[in-house]
Chain A
Amino acid sequence: MANPTEAKRILEAALLASPEPLSLADLKRLFDDQVGGETLTHLLAELREDWAGRAVELVSLASGWRFQTRPEFQPFVEKLQPEKPPKYSRAVMETLAIIAYRQPVTRGDIEDVRGVVVSTQIMQALENRGWIDIVGHRETPGRPGLYATTRTFLDDLGLRSLQELPPLEEIARTLQLEPAPASIVPEAANEPAAG
């Protein structure tokens, strides 16, 4: 078996050469399954340390490990790209949030929460992105499809599991309209709370 330094370099080469995240199982195959999962995880953690302070980082995702650029360099990288990356509308993001936090849900469930009809384009945008798919059907009239988020969704948002989603906030009984810093709207507290 390769010594740890060498093993780390082998992992590095494999991860850098792969456009997709590599799972622990993939990485084990590099060493003909002669290296245990724990050792591998340890080596990967070390490798991540080795890359600290660089423009590229090693991250752990739902389907494995991936090298990616650090977000702070995105504005610069974008300058060289003719096409701007997609920016999803509030409608798309709200639909996505409902699916992510309340899955599995039908389109009807989403419409109940949002209070408006969910357009087919929204669902298609999310499906085409590979972020949601139908995982079953509710046994009600029409057998509507039940939507859930996919592993790609977790990967693309840098998450390992749904548990890493930002926690849902407890909603305040009263609050200022926009979550602006207190210093910007200091008069908020002085306003008389009606009702």
Chain B
Amino acid sequence: MSEPAQLPLAARVARLYGQPFIEIPQDLYIPPDALEVILEAFEGPLDLLLYLIRRENLDILDIPMAPLTRQYLEYVEAMRATNLELAAEYLVMAAMLIEIKSRLLLPRPPAAEPLEDDPRAELVRRLLEYERMKQAAQRLDLLPQLGRDVLAVSVWVERTVLERLPEVNPQDLAEAWRTLLHRARMSAHHRVSREELSVREHMSGVLRRLRERRVLEFGELFDPARGVAMLVVTLLAVLELARETLIEITQSENFAPIYVKLAHGESH
């Protein structure tokens, strides 16, 4: 549908990147709006030169330097006029073209080899190599690319072994208790007096704290600084409360924190 079949023959000169490129033949007419688009499509001076050569269907091995240089310079001038950022490479190429053109004007020694002495040889070599790589790039781009055109297939593999459900683990409770005991020993002082310790009293104390805080971590119930005896009593109080289902002791999984909260229905 974008093919220029409807256009008059004379207007169809070339296709630029898939779009029909309409020009007045023999002259360099560029629609002003199109210029920016066209110039941005070039990958550099070699690309622009190739375009000019191919558009005019010039013989790349026998480039007519005068018209090519003229057209190239007109493009470069147009780029400058539209304030497009002009890469230095374009100017270097312009200088090179002019140099080649002027060298061609010099009289040539009659016995000279036609191509080896040709000032255009190096330019032609570069143009051919660039064009080869440009085409190679296009073909490379046509290859199916992983992530763009194809995706690696990988089925889901269930790798995790059946997970054991968290259990009420007395071992953890004992471990937590041992830790507390240990810390209590570390901070133990020689106490001369002995506090009167009542399990029931501590049961109330625990319940009271739970009413304030709703949920407490197991360790928070204990104050190791107050000595081993106090810890023992508090533990007994907690266990007794649990036995009487006044509190709930929960642990979401192994080695997770143990939480203590008021049992449902406990409303004081």
* Chain A window 152-195, contacts with chain B (Cβ cutoff 8 Å), 1 for yes, 0 for no: 00011111000001101101011111101000110110011111
Knowing A113-B133, A114-B130, A168-B132 are in contact, say whether A71-B146 is a contact too (CB < 8 A): no
Bound CA–CA A105/B193 (angstroms): 88
**For chain B residues 98-141, which have a beta carbon within 8 Å of chain A?**
126, 128-141
* Chain A window 39-58, contacts with chain B (Cβ cutoff 8 Å), 1 for yes, 0 for no: 00000000000000000100
Q: Are A71 and B150 in contact (CB under 8 A)?
A: yes
Measured between beta carbons, the chain B residues less than 8 angstroms from A188 are 57
Q: Are B140 and A177 in contact (CB under 8 A)?
A: no
What residues of chain A have their CB less than 8 Å away from a CB belonging to chain B?
16-20, 56, 66-71, 74, 77, 85-88, 90-91, 93-94, 96-98, 100-102, 112-117, 155-159, 165-166, 168-169, 171, 173-178, 180, 184-185, 187-188, 191-195
What residues of chain B have their CB less than 8 Å away from a CB belonging to chain A?
3-5, 9, 12, 14-18, 21, 43-47, 51, 54-64, 67, 87, 89, 93, 126, 128-155, 157
Q: Which 10 A-B pairs rank lowest in CB-CB distance, beginning with the nearest?
A: A116-B44, A115-B46, A97-B137, A156-B146, A166-B139, A67-B153, A93-B137, A97-B136, A177-B54, A178-B15
A71-B144, A166-B142, A176-B57 known; 8 other A-B pairs, CB under 8 Å?
A66-B152, A68-B146, A86-B147, A90-B43, A93-B137, A97-B140, A166-B136, A187-B9
Could you list 22 examples of A-B contacts with CB < 8 Å? A18-B154, A85-B148, A94-B137, A96-B140, A112-B126, A113-B126, A115-B46, A115-B130, A116-B44, A117-B89, A156-B147, A157-B144, A166-B139, A171-B131, A171-B132, A171-B135, A173-B59, A174-B57, A184-B3, A187-B12, A194-B58, A195-B63
